Amino acid sequence: MATQTRGELVQAKNILLRRRANTSDTAEQAVIDSALSDLDEAIDGITQASLLQAAGMVAAATDALERVIASARLGPFDTFLADIQTSLGRLQGELDAMQGSERLAPAPPAPQANEVVALPEPATPPARGLESSDDAVRPINSRRFEDLREEYGAFFDRCRLRPEFAANAEFYFSRLAKFKPTYKQLGDNLDIPWVFVGVVHAMECGFNFGTHLHNGDPLKARTVHVPKGRPASGEPPFTWLESARDALVLKKLDRVEDWSLPHMLYLLEAYNGFGYRSSFVPTPYLWSFSNLYSAGKFVADGTFDPTAVSKQCGAAVMLRVLQERGMA
């Protein structure tokens, strides 16, 4: 994947170099010079970068290309705008593929609407708990919010972004900040906090605005995975906003009145499922990249691997850092 992505970046650089030679607009030239610097950094570093570091580089490159497009006010345009838009679309596709490859599989049993039932205890708890900075962290094996309220608060207070993941996590924070106006537009319409909409979009779609918030299927058709056939009304292709609204309303999130932090974490865990609790593993959907999680992951529907490690930043970790930065 890195080789193909590097090739796309080189093509985008060549398009910008041609435009740089043909435009007389000094303001646009300055924007192009800045974009070329971002592209050079990505081209030089992408083959040695981790997946999320590479995603961050590609995201910075796509942001730079968008700024170039916005700055192009004078001709000659010939095929420049079409070429750069095509290149931007290809890079966005590479970014989507990077994120999609790390999306967490559902953690069964999948929650049903308004259902709050306890999970059966496993016959033997694991011999070794996951270590945090002090005590072993083992989540309560329940799906009842009343049982989990204090746990969510305690875990969040103890949650810290692990330093080795700080660079990788920046990808998520940069995207959340960039797309906040879109998340806020939808959230304000439904009385849902923008941060909830944003972290769900990060976890389920890798920030891809060409996919359904329901499950990451392409917007060009109704969803084909669970929930299938959404949105039920209207005709494809759907806009991201209309499909995302359908996803949130389908889960009755527009009727939620309690948006306290513990209940928000409960709703986020419900989005993926409570199945990690039967193995006493803090769900990576919330806690990956933090001191509360080290290993254990559903690698496919119903298949749990205790040694697999999530490479997605957890939703609670995003919320924690956004809070520390005064953004949530």
Token pair for 66: 């968008």
Residue spans per domain, the chain: 2-100, 130-324
Q: Do β-strands 130-131 and 303-305 pair in parallel, antiparallel, or remain unpaired?
A: unpaired
Which pair of tokens denotes residue 112?
């049903």
Which pLDDT score is estimated for 192? 97
Q: Are 159 and 290 in contact (CB under 8 A)?
A: yes
Helix (H) or strand (E) holding 297: strand 297-300
pLDDT tens digits along 18-53: 988 988 889 989 999 999 998 998 898 887 777 777
Please give the sequence-ordered ranges of beta strands (E in DSSP) within 158-246, or none if there are none.
none
Q: What is the pTM of this model?
A: 0.76
187: Cα separation from own chain's centroid: 17
Residue 12 and residue 84: Cα distance in Å, rounded? 7
pLDDT digits (tens, 9 = 90+) for 143-173: 999 999 999 999 999 999 999 988 888 889 9
Strands 297-300 and 303-305: antiparallel
Which DSSP helix (H) or strand (E) runs through 255? Answer: none
Backbone φ and ψ for 244, nearest 5 degrees, come out as -65, -40
Residue range 251-295, pLDDT digits in tens: 999 999 999 999 999 999 998 999 999 989 999 999 999 999 999
CB-CB contact of 228 with 110 (8 Å): no
- For 200-223, the pLDDT digits (tens) are 999 988 888 889 999 888 999 999
Instruction: Supply the DSSP symbol for 110.
Output: P
